[in-house]
Amino acid sequence: MDIQAPSSPGRSCGTCTLCCRLPDIDALSKPANAWCQHCRAEGGCTIYQDRPQVCRDFLCLWMVDDALGQEWEPARSHMMIYRQGPQVTVLVDPAHAAVWRREPYYSRLETWAKEAEADHGYVIVFAGDDVFKI
């Protein structure tokens, strides 16, 4: 997958395709937690050059925030995280629905939630069919 978004040095998507599975993408009629019809295992997006704007605008937090250690790599953590203004959104692989409650993840999510409160923001976690606000 050819990533053109700004990324931290040494980081790449590698074989991770969680962004092709976890989010709901209306522009592609793709529901949450379902594979995008344009995603190929370990090959990524087959329409990358012509992908919708929502996909072009997406910034995986692990790719752009070098303060996050290797344990936050989406393929390793089973979570895809991104910011929308003062909100932090966490999409959890349903096969690992409780991972966000474990350390080192939970304490960082709590810290982000406390920091976001100052701007009337919050952290929201989507784990399968469950939604949690921290």
DSSP assignment of 63-101, as one string? HH-TTS-GGG-HHHHSEEEEEETTEEEEEE-GGGTTGGG
Read off the pTM.
0.89
Q: Where are the domains of the chain?
A: 14-58, 60-134
pLDDT by residue, tens only, the chain of 134 residues: 333 445 677 788 888 999 999 999 999 999 999 999 999 877 789 999 999 999 999 999 999 998 999 999 999 999 999 999 899 999 999 999 999 999 999 999 999 999 999 889 999 999 989 999 99
